[in-house]
Structure 1
Amino acid sequence: MATNFRRAQDLARSLPALKDPQGVRRRVEAMEGLLERLVTIPGTKRQLGLDVILDIIPGVGSVAAGALGAWMIWEARNLGMSKWQMTRMLGNVGFDTLLGAIPWVGAIPDFFFKSNTRNLRIIKRHLDRHHPATVTLDGGVSRSGR
């Protein structure tokens, strides 16, 4: 019993780390890279990720991709983002999930409508405005989102 209490205390101490803006930025950037930019199609500059690959699996693939996209919304909630921003993000994921629910054909529009990239942009814009210390350099240029 004492061990469980100690684990609960350790977890409670680690919760602020889940809301650390720099940590959130790293996690959502990594998730977006996995879902949207996992591999580059040879001979093109087009990238595809786990989101499109999962949509090829009828039924469960689209739901799994939607759940991974929803995780980014959970991270946005940890940052204290507005309900309007999270609603926009939920709309992006929902639209993407509905498109992906069409067996085989659903992967095609998903290839072009990158909901996770759109959501990452929303999160980065929030972080850049409310947590300027987390701004990163992409290609040597500060991406402030303003």
Structure 2
Amino acid sequence: MAPERARELERLARLAHTLDARWRIPVVGVRVGLDGLVGLIPGVGDTLAALPSAYVILRGWQLGARRRVLARMVGNTGIDYLIGTVPLVGDLFDIGFKGNLRNIRLLRDELGARAEATD
């Protein structure tokens, strides 16, 4: 993988970590990020949290991910958004689902496999 592509993936991975798993909740040990916290704001929280998720998908497209991978990323973000809008249940789901980290995993697998195929 090209060094600039690897740097961009690492930057996106840090963003996903901040969104999904930045802080550890004491005692229970569950990790939560900005996505879960902002999602607590009634009405607009989940929409605000979806914006950086959409950015990760956009960058995936710009980095050359295939449509199938992008569709799965959109699906993860869509599920996270739709279920996240349900009061309380959605907030708990956000903490467990971690759609942004799933998307980074898909993107790393996709771009890493494609880089190996061209070597």
Which residue identity is paired with 1:80? G
What is aligned with 1:9? none
Which residue identity is paired with 1:45? G
Over the matched positions of the two proteins, sequence identity in percent amounts to 32
Instruction: For residues 40-91 of structure 1, give each alpha carbon's deviation from its aligned partner in whole angstroms, at most 9, with x where no partner exists.
Output: 0112331000010011001111001111111110110111111111011001
Contact 1:29–1:120 (8 Å) recurs in 2: yes
Q: CA RMSD in A?
A: 1.3
What is aligned with 1:53? 37
Q: Which has the higher contact order (CA 8 A, sep 6+)?
A: 2
Gap runs ≥5 in structure 2 = none
The structure with more helix, counted as a fraction of residues: 2
CA distance in 1 between partners of 2:108 and 2:42 (Å) = 32
What is aligned with 2:26? 42
What is aligned with 1:67? 51
Gap runs ≥5 in structure 1 = 1-19, 133-146
Contact 1:55–1:107 (8 Å) recurs in 2: yes
Contact 1:58–1:104 (8 Å) recurs in 2: no
Which residue identity is paired with 1:43? V
How many aligned residue pairs are there?
A: 113
Structure whose CA Rg is larger? 1
* Divergent runs of 4+, >6 A: none
What is aligned with 1:17? none
What is aligned with 2:106? 122
Contact 1:21–1:131 (8 Å) recurs in 2: no
Q: Is 1:110 aligned to 2:94, yes or no?
A: yes
